[in-house]
Amino acid sequence: MINESRLITTFTDLVKIDSPSGSEKAAAEFVAARLRALGLEPKVDALYNVTALFPGEGAPLLLNAHTDSVAPCLGIQPVVANGVVKSDGTTILGADDRAGVAAILEALAALREQNLAHRPLEIAITVQEEVGLVGAQGLDLAQFKSKMGVVLDSHGPVGTIIVQSPTHNLIEATLIGKAAHAGVEPEKGISAIVVAAEAIAAMKLGRIDAETTANIGVIQGGAARNIVAEKCQLTGEARSQRESKLKRQTNAMVRALERAAKKHRAKAKVQVTRAYNQFRFTPRDEVVRQVSAAIERVARKPKLDVSGGGSDANIFNAHGIASVPISIGYEEIHTTAEFIPIAELGKTAQLVVELARVAA
Ligand SMILES: [Zn+2]
């Protein structure tokens, strides 16, 4: 049913197109051209999200993947050998998430060629997923009629359904002290770096409990060796599967910053923003049942899993489209060792066909 060599060609052609987050125009044009060739009328928005309707019968289903990749992703040279596709070792491969895009394109072609009855498919190929779900957030979600969605963007062999994902808070802090000559009159200064160090030392970070994590990922401050540092900036985050725990952890981090600043008579400007909200499904939920049925039809055993990360599914769920990420075969993503077995790529395309055919 799936044309494996066409699928591999689509995938390798796609990853050869440079598509770092924020520069997805060429990849979007490739996708739009392929959709047009299938007789669809794709729309490309200002961000280069591509959406299209593949008409069918029954309840519509949203299918999503993203075109952007993390660095290093310029000049990807895919190597097809020994049943896998990998990069030449100097870049990531981009299977995250162009394997998802290629699988959707192949599944649509297969459905059309074989004239198979299927439900309407609403295609949403997003951008800037890797930098905070920016494309999905900018997408006009009102255009979709689907009550259910599948996000082709999780690692591991085909069969896993992500049924739970955390809520994610972003924390940005600027500590303002007072500059002074470090050798002549340091007592006139207030070191923002010292304030940051005390604040971070007072924070509990890393794994807080089974459902909660926290991190300070970037710290930047100071102007020169001999100046008491006036300014220091911190970029951090907290995630939890539970809102109450997330609130407690986020507040503790903010308080640590404010306390250290107060102690040193510095100023702390702390900003907390919500990156995305959690979702949680049970095996009884309709989307989980339908995706499980499709997985069984491609001869795999459905496995329900919890993720510590977010995906476009978090955005769709927040807008009332019950959506789950599924594993599509890629491994070691966000590293130059990223690869995808060809058998898994084919299985993913087959799974999309079965998702389209599951009676809704
Ligand atoms: Zn991804």
Over residues 183-205, the pLDDT tens digits come to 999 999 999 999 999 999 999 99
Tell me the CA–centroid distance for residue 82 and ligand 1, in Å: 24
Banded pLDDT at 359 (limits 50, 70, 90): low
Q: Which amino acid is at 71?
A: A
Angle subtended at Cα 295 by Cα 132 and Cα 300, rounded to the nearest 5 degrees? 115
**226-249 b/e (C-beta count within 10 Å ≥ 16 → b):** ebbbbbbbbebbbbbbeeebbeeb
For the chain, domains (ranges, CATH) are 4-165+278-357 (3.40.630.10), 167-276 (3.30.70.360)
Tell me the CA–centroid distance for residue 334 and ligand 1, in Å: 9
**Cα four-point dihedral sign 187, 259, 206, 315:** negative
Nearest CA among 47, 103, 112, 99 for reference residue 69: 99
Tell me the CA–centroid distance for residue 227 and ligand 1, in Å: 43
Q: What is the phi-psi region of residue 3: left when phi exceeds 0, alpha when psi lies from -120 to 50, beta otherwise?
A: beta
pLDDT tens digits along 194-234? 999 999 999 999 999 999 999 999 999 999 999 999 999 99
Q: Which two three-digit tokens encode residue 31?
A: 């996708």
Contact 358, 293 (CB under 8 A): yes
Banded pLDDT at 360 (limits 50, 70, 90): low
How many residues are listed for the chain in this entry?
360
Collapsing DSSP states into helix, strand and coil, what is residue 171?
A: strand
Collapsing DSSP states into helix, strand and coil, what is residue 146?
A: coil
Tell me the CA–centroid distance for residue 359 and ligand 1, in Å: 28
Q: Which amino acid is at 236?
A: G
Question: Residue 80: beta bridge partners?
Answer: 85
Q: Which two three-digit tokens encode residue 57?
A: 């019968």
Catalytic residue set? 68, 129
Distance CA 346, CA 328 (A): 9
CA distances from 216 to 14, 166, 219, 220 (A): 35, 18, 8, 11
Percent of the chain with pLDDT over 90: 98
Helices 95-113 and 4-15: angle between axes, nearest 10 degrees? 140
pLDDT score, position 318? 93
pLDDT at residue 254 above 60?
yes
Angle subtended at Cα 149 by Cα 145 and Cα 153, rounded to the nearest 5 degrees? 145
Q: Kind of pairing, strands 206-209 and 267-276? A: unpaired
Distance CA 288, CA 145 (A): 19
Tell me the CA–centroid distance for residue 317 and ligand 1, in Å: 17
Distance CA 346, CA 3 (A): 8
Tell me the CA–centroid distance for residue 63 and ligand 1, in Å: 14
Q: What is the phi-psi region of residue 128: left when phi exceeds 0, alpha when psi lies from -120 to 50, beta otherwise?
A: left
Angle subtended at Cα 77 by Cα 72 and Cα 79, rounded to the nearest 5 degrees? 120
pLDDT, mean of residues 140-152:
97
Distance CA 70, CA 47 (A): 17
pLDDT score, position 295? 98
pTM of model > 0.85: yes
Tell me the CA–centroid distance for residue 310 and ligand 1, in Å: 9
pLDDT score, position 1? 86
CA distances from 319 to 149, 250, 260, 279, 298 (A): 11, 25, 39, 11, 30
pLDDT tens digits along 60-111? 999 999 999 999 999 999 999 999 999 999 999 999 999 999 999 999 999 9
Tell me the CA–centroid distance for residue 129 and ligand 1, in Å: 7
Question: Residue 327: beta bridge partners?
Answer: 154
Tell me the CA–centroid distance for residue 86 and ligand 1, in Å: 16
